[in-house]
Structure 1
Amino acid sequence: MTNLLRFFSYHQPRRIRVIENTLCSRRTVATLFWARQYDILKWLGAYRSLTRHEFNDLIDELVHTKILTLNDKSEAKLTEKGAAILKKEEADRYEPAFFDWYWLANTHRVVQRLLLAVQVASEYSYHQNKYAPLTIPLGEMQVVKQWFRNNYQYDLTNRLYLDLQRLGKALDSEDPRLATDLFNSLIGYKKAGWTPNQAAANLKLSLEDIQFLRHDEMLAVSAYARNFPGPLQQLLGPLLRTSPLNRSAEITYNLYAQGQEIEQISQRRRLKQNTIQEHLLEAAILIPEKVNWNRFLPEDKRIILGKAYEGVPTTWKFNENVSSFYEFRLYQIYQGVVNEE
């Protein structure tokens, strides 16, 4: 329960729905914006299985035990007691190694494909064709089935073993717990993988930290598959993204970067101008280092906004007499990036 404290602050009230949506990867512009402000953007999708009911119960318990305070705007802060607990548990928390790749893949789908693929290859290597396959969505199962058909005649078992061996060495050099959990979680011939409870007991981590560690593992697997040809790349490649932006936002961003205006893009793509603006805000949040800020928010506009808004960007109140909300939000993002630098 207290592992959620890392997402809260003693000094800054934080919107609990932003934290929940970030962990579950509910990608709205508002969630992405506030996640960046809270410095938790890299945790996007780190706890996809977390339900609204579970999250609410956790928040209620933390408030009841006076670890968090919650205001009527659904913003929470750590109490002195909460801050002390967070500090005390700092050394025991799992600190992710690969979360900078948060955008690369839906790790829930990656782990489904990986576990079934390893199971199928393992049973095949022992000439077994009567076993209960891991239950995953039909679409993912069909992908693994086709992957096996395309590869089984080409020394699949040994090639997959070498792939996993190289991956394991890389994980072990980063954090031995990653490799230990990954290989103990795999399912195969006469072998059942660790449950989360077994992993927590063996690695001496909380169940929440096991969730974060396994998300980290799958991001590492995805990064490996992205860079090294082999069975894992063939299996997982179609799941891997090329950009932090969603596909539609990436198209919009590229058109805008090429010089087209929002109205032109709207007409060309047959999307509302508000949708195009949301795409550009997503780009400003997720790839600010690539954004031409003079194009997105010209200097003369920044000067006008700078006279109206001062202090910490997250404390500003939108003034419709100064600018559109789109320009207001862009300026918040811009100032946040400037402050980070």
Structure 2
Amino acid sequence: MNKLLRFFSYHQPRRIRVIENTLRSRRTVATLFWARQYGILEWLGADRTLNRQEYDQLINQLVADKLLAIDDQSQAILTEEGAKVLKNEEESFYIPSFYDWYWLTNTQRIIQRLFLAIQVVSEFSYHQRKYVPLAISYGEMVAVKQWFRQNYHHDLVKTLYTDLHRFGSALESEDPRMTTDLFNVMIGYQRSGWTINQAAQELKIKIDDIQYLRHDEMLAVSAYARNFPGPLQQLLLPLINESPLNRSAQVTFDLYTQGEPIELIAQERRLKENTIREHLLEAAILIPDKLDWDILLPESKRDELSRFYKGEPTAWKFDEQIASFYEYRLYQIFQGITNEK
């Protein structure tokens, strides 16, 4: 079955580019907003290697198979047949365990850095210097080299093994398939890791879902490294985010929560006021519980907007005569969150 089918709905038209941008982690405010409305925000960055050509081919195949229908605004909805196929296939889907940590890191960088480090330490443990290292980006290769030079004389083989064993034991209790795959896909001395086909066959997971399984594994190891000191933390912590917000949005958010108005923040940061508003919209989408909504969008303004905008927020149409787009989007977010609760 086409791996994209799970991201569409029979009842709700969904923008095909939002789904693509969510999987690839193209973080615009519009993508984040619609991903939350569609209930797929936690899939942000789950398939960063997906390219436009591959994505469009998958969409076109769903349409050709009459499982998906697309309107002239590039919004797609499951056909009746598509809904039936999805329902029949759902039980066999891989269900992620750590996708709530979607914001934590770029898992493609984690997997490159982690797997090269494992390979280097494994070869080192057998005093092997002549081997072909994993082909990864130059920046990650340099980072692993620096990490190894700083740690190899501190009994690195033993401490890394202990760290991995502790992590693996914790992961085993969550989903044994993750542990099995993670430790079989690693490359080391006289050892090549599982291919995707091998993993799918051994774990009885669809080939299309192996990508999602490994994204889950890297979120898990990142969450572990974030909280437990050791070689993994030293290796991976530079890649781990402190907040769901990007760094610039976090600075704006911190200033705003200190009571500074948008105009002053823009002046201090030498940014446009619209950029500051974009940051606050991102915060409203990603960390709504940390916002004081009575300051961000006062109750009087919400009451005013409620007279014009009713029903499902995703069906509203913006009217500049009623409010600014910033206020309109904030109210959409607020009502969407209220509906979730």
TM range (shorter): over 0.9
User: After superposition, what is the alpha-carbon deviation per residue over 1:21-48, rounded to whole angstroms, capped at 9, x for unaligned?
Assistant: 0000000000000000000000000000
Tell whether the 8 Å contact from 2:4 to 2:59 is kept in structure 1 after alignment. Answer: no
Matched with 1:65 is 65
Aligned-partner residue type, residue 89 of structure 1: E
Residue correspondence of structure 1 range 192-211 to structure 2 within 5 A = 192-211=192-211
Give the distance between the partners of 2:250 and 2:34, measured in 1 at CA. 21
1:332 corresponds to 2:332: yes
- 1:184 maps to 184
Q: What is the deviation of 1:207?
A: 2.3
Q: Deviations over 1:310-336 (max 9, x none)?
A: 111111111111110000000000001
Q: Partner letter of residue 259 of structure 2?
A: G
Deviations 1:176-207 (A, max 9, x none): 11001100110100001112122122222222
CA contact (8 A) 2:119 2:187 kept: yes
**1:50 to partner: Cα distance:** 0.5
Q: Which residue of 1 aligns with 2:275?
A: 275
- The match for 1:114 is 114
In 2: Cα distance, 1:66 partner to 1:84 partner: 12
One-letter amino acid of the counterpart of residue 127, structure 2: H
Taking only aligned residues, the RMSD between alpha carbons, in angstroms, comes to 0.7
1:141 matched residue in structure 2: 141
**Cα distance in 2 for residues equivalent to 1:47 and 1:205:** 17
Read off the aligned partner of 1:279 and give its amino acid letter.
H
CA contact (8 A) 1:3 1:93 kept: no
Q: Distance in 2 between matches of 1:183 and 1:239?
A: 21
Q: Is structure 2 residue 290 aligned with structure 1 residue 286?
A: no
Using the size of structure 2 for normalisation, the TM-score is: 0.99
Partner of 1:164: 164
Distance 2:265 2:132 in 1: 51
What is the CA distance between 1:172 and its match in structure 2?
1.2
Q: Give distance in 1, aligned partners of 2:185 and 2:247.
A: 32
SS at match of 1:89: helix
Name stretches of at least 5 consecutive residues in structure 2 with no aligned partner: none
Report SS of the residue matched to 1:73.
Answer: coil
- Secondary structure of 2:307's match? helix
Q: Distance in 1 between matches of 2:89 and 2:162?
A: 38
Contact preservation (8 Å) 1:24, 1:46: yes
Q: Which residue of 1 aligns with 2:155?
A: 155
Query: Contact conserved, 1:2 with 1:86, CA < 8 A, in 2?
Result: no
Structural mapping, 1:52-131, within 5 Å: 52-131=52-131
CA–CA distance in 2 between the matches of 1:287 and 1:264? 22
**TM-score, with length taken from structure 1:** 0.99
| SS of alignment partner, residue 129 of structure 1 | coil
In structure 1, the partner of 2:28 is 28
Cα distance in 1 between the residues matched to 2:145 and 2:108: 18
Paired amino acid for 2:178: L
Tell me, in whole angstroms, the C-alpha distance in 2 between the residues paired with 1:328 and 1:335.
11
Deviations 1:227-262 (A, max 9, x none): 110000000011111100000000001111111111
Query: What SS does structure 2 have at the residue aligned with 1:177?
Result: helix
The DSSP-based 3-state class of the residue aligned with 1:26 is: coil
SS of aligned partner of 1:181: helix
CA contact (8 A) 1:6 1:86 kept: yes
Q: Check the 8 A contact 2:69/2:79 in 1, yes or no.
A: yes
Q: Which runs of 5+ in 1 are unaligned?
A: none
Q: Deviations over 1:35-84 (max 9, x none)?
A: 00000000000000000000000000000000001111101111111111
Alignment coverage as a number of residue pairs: 341
Quote the Cα distance in structure 2 between the aligned partners of 1:304 and 1:270.
33
Name 2:322's counterpart in structure 1.
322
Rounded to whole Å, the distance in 1 between the matches of 2:132 and 2:326 is 53
2:331 counterpart SS class: helix
SS in 2 for 1:69: strand
